[in-house]
Amino acid sequence: MKSFLEITNLAVKFNTRRGEVTAVTDVNLSLNKSDVVAVVGESGSGKSVTAYSILNLLGKNGWVDQGNIEFDGMDLIKAKKNLIKNIRGREIAMIFQNPMSTLNPIRKVGDQLSDMLRQHSQASKETAPKKIAQLLNQVEIKDIDRVKNAYPFELSGGMCQRVMIALALACDSRLLIADEPTTGLDVTTQKSIMDLVSGLAKKNNLAVILITHDLGMASEYCNKFIVMEKGRVVETSDDHEIFKNPQHPYTQKLLAATPAQNSKVEVLTPIPPEFLLETPPEPSEEILLAIEGLVKTYVLTDTKHKTFNAVDGVNFKIYKGECMGLVGESGCGKSTTSRIIARLEQATQGRVLFEGQDLNLISDKQFIKSEFRKQIQMVFQDPTGSLNPRHTVFQLIAEPLKRLENITDRSELDSKVHQLADQVGLNSELIFRLPHQLSGGQKARVGIARAIAVKPKLLILDEPTSALDVSVQAIVLQLLERLRRELGLSYLFVSHDLNVVRMLSQRILVMQNGKIVESGNTDEVMNNPQSEFTQTLIQAIPKMVS
């Protein structure tokens, strides 16, 4: 008997500015009713393309070049437009990443639900409101009346995703394709959304294809696994065996790189690098940075004189040679704190004592000329956006040397840049490339090389790996750890991901609503969290079931 959904030998091509590009080849997938399949892979692996080709959503420039997709006996590739239209949303539903932008921004949520219901004749004008209430209730939305009459921008990301799920459930479809449904959401929200999806799937007997880059999430919620790399399926497994005993080297690499509850930075690659096997030096007792009563107040523009404290009385210290983790969800004030320390913003109140000197007392002009500008540097979140697209790698790394060290001699610059590139493991033939010709990991290395060029004492890492694939993240984390040990740097590691922070940091701060709610040694915080918020955070981390 044929399975519920059967993809055989799928090959998809796209017409792009660089000519015809094959996105996936030879993809096979089969799934039965009530299966929850994870399609795992890093960016560019072709996992989303595979999902989109099921509903023929490849857009104008993409097409299925080869292969077959059969759904419940229907050939979806050769299907007429009308048939596909009726299958979309009715038989097979889909939810996407960035729920805020997948809902029509200027149409009320209720109307969008009603569009869907009426399109598929699930309700009439009269019965729609009742049905909508039912649906919203199903996705565990409490204040149904408010949500129904709300525009998407008035709802939180998690709420929007719930609405999307409600849309997907509206017609009792039998297959749900979830394309990275939790990307961009906070960890705690992630968990509740995934719990909801898996609960509903069980209840409604839904088959689910979960497309994700997160092995942890896959292992927690799915029962079948497909690993993809560069448009090909590299490994398939019908059970959790894959986590214990991965066959393909890529799966092994991926598995190693995925931070688990207990993984250490040195084991993020299948073969641990030598330098990390040495025992790390003990952090010194000397205080490098002390933050005292830091407050940052913003005036809200649309309302009269209403203010909002992004950072609300923060105190902490960083010792020399130490990595301090700063964790919190989006909007908690962690970025503002780091930007104030990096002197990209001015504090409203409080002191930033760097080696005993209050930086807030130095004017902007003086600061640029002072030693402190060299001593505090930063690595940014977005490896692409943080590199000037018109500068070559050489120019990018040389910029701080020219500006802050006043090195103008070309040969001196040349040797320094090469040395730095070498230090961060950047091949010297990449040195005259432009950012768009580099991979994500290479860009991250350039960012790090630039930051350490002027030999700073404190390096602020602002979510340095959140835009990277896990395998790249692993290498970058190892690089950072190596540099800290070799150069005796101190880090302030800002991230939303406790699991990542944990691996590099000796101590951890947890921030919520502009305040620090928990601080302590990494092991203490992870194993014995005191505040309720930290507990939820830790619980929300997907557990690798193995």
Q: Among the candidate windows 131-139, 204-212, 388-396, 414-422, which touches other proteins by CB under 8 A?
A: 388-396
Task: Out of 344, 422, 428, 486, name the contact with other proteins by CB under 8 A.
Answer: 344
Residue 359 binds other proteins, judged by CB under 8 A: no
Q: Assess 17 for contact with other proteins (CB under 8 A).
A: yes
Consecutive H or E run containing 215:
helix 215-221
- Given a contact cutoff of 8 angstroms between Cβ atoms, the answer to whether 393 and 433 are in contact is yes
Cβ atoms within 10 Å, residue 314:
24
CB 214 within 8 A of CB 220: no
- The span of 113-121, 185-193, 231-239, 420-428 binding other proteins (CB under 8 A) equals 113-121
Per-residue b or e along 141-167, where b marks 16 or more CB atoms closer than 10 Å to that residue's CB: beebeebbebebeebebbbbbbbbbbb
Binding of other proteins by 545 (CB under 8 A) = no
By CB under 8 A, name the one of 24, 64, 155, 168 that touches other proteins. 168
Q: How far apart (Å, rounded) are the C-alpha atoms in residues 215 and 412?
A: 46
Number of residues that bind other proteins (CB under 8 A): 63
In three-state secondary structure terms, 480 is helix
Residue from 10, 35, 109, 120 touching other proteins (CB under 8 A): that is 120
Nearest distance from C-beta of residue 260 to other proteins, angstroms: 30
385 Cβ contact partners less than 8 Å away, ≥ 6 residues apart: none
Question: Is residue 157 near other proteins by the rule CB under 8 A?
Answer: no
Q: How far is the CB of 443 from other proteins (least distance, A)?
A: 11
244 binds other proteins (CB under 8 A): no
389 binds other proteins (CB under 8 A): yes
Q: Which of 13, 47, 224, 450 binds other proteins (CB under 8 A)?
A: 450
Instruction: State yes or no: residue 385 binds other proteins (CB under 8 A).
Output: yes
Q: How far is CA 263 from CA 256, 281, 327, in A?
A: 9, 20, 18
Q: Is 125 in the site for other proteins (CB under 8 A)?
A: no
Q: Looking only at residues 262 through 301 of this chain, which bind other proteins when binding is defined by CB under 8 A?
A: 301
Q: Please give the full DSSP string across 271-328, using - where no structure is assigned.
A: S--GGGTSPPPPPPS-EEEEEEEEEEEEE-SSSTT-EEEEEEEEEEEEETT-EEEEE-
Q: Is 434 one of the binding residues for other proteins (CB under 8 A)?
A: yes
Stretch near other proteins under the rule CB under 8 A, chosen from 38-46, 53-61, 189-197, 225-233: 53-61
Q: Which long-range contacts (CB under 8 A, 24 or more apart) does 16-21 make?
A: 16/61
Q: Taking the complex as a whole, how short is the minimal distance between the CB of residue 382 and other proteins, in angstroms?
A: 5
Least separation, in Å, of the C-beta of 104 and other proteins?
A: 5
Q: Is 94 in the site for other proteins (CB under 8 A)?
A: yes
Q: Is 373 in the site for other proteins (CB under 8 A)?
A: yes
Contacts 24+ apart (CB under 8 A), 479-486: 479/424, 479/425, 479/445, 479/448, 480/448, 480/504, 481/265, 481/276, 482/273, 482/275, 482/276, 483/423, 483/424, 483/448, 483/452, 484/321, 484/323, 485/275, 485/278, 485/280, 485/281, 486/275
Q: How far is the CB of 489 from other proteins (least distance, A)?
A: 15
**Residue 356 makes contact with other proteins by CB under 8 A:** no
Residue 475 DSSP symbol: H
Residue with the two structure tokens 């960012």: 447
Between CA 341 and CA 331 the distance in angstroms is 17
Stretch that binds other proteins, among 111-119, 194-202, 208-216, 493-501 (CB under 8 A): 111-119
When asked if residue 319 is in the footprint of other proteins (CB under 8 A), the reply is no
Return residues touching other proteins (CB under 8 A).
17-19, 55, 57, 60, 85-90, 93-94, 96, 98, 101-107, 115-116, 119-120, 151, 153-154, 164, 167-168, 301-302, 339, 342, 344, 365, 368, 373-374, 377-378, 380-382, 385-390, 399-400, 403-404, 433-434, 437, 447, 450-451
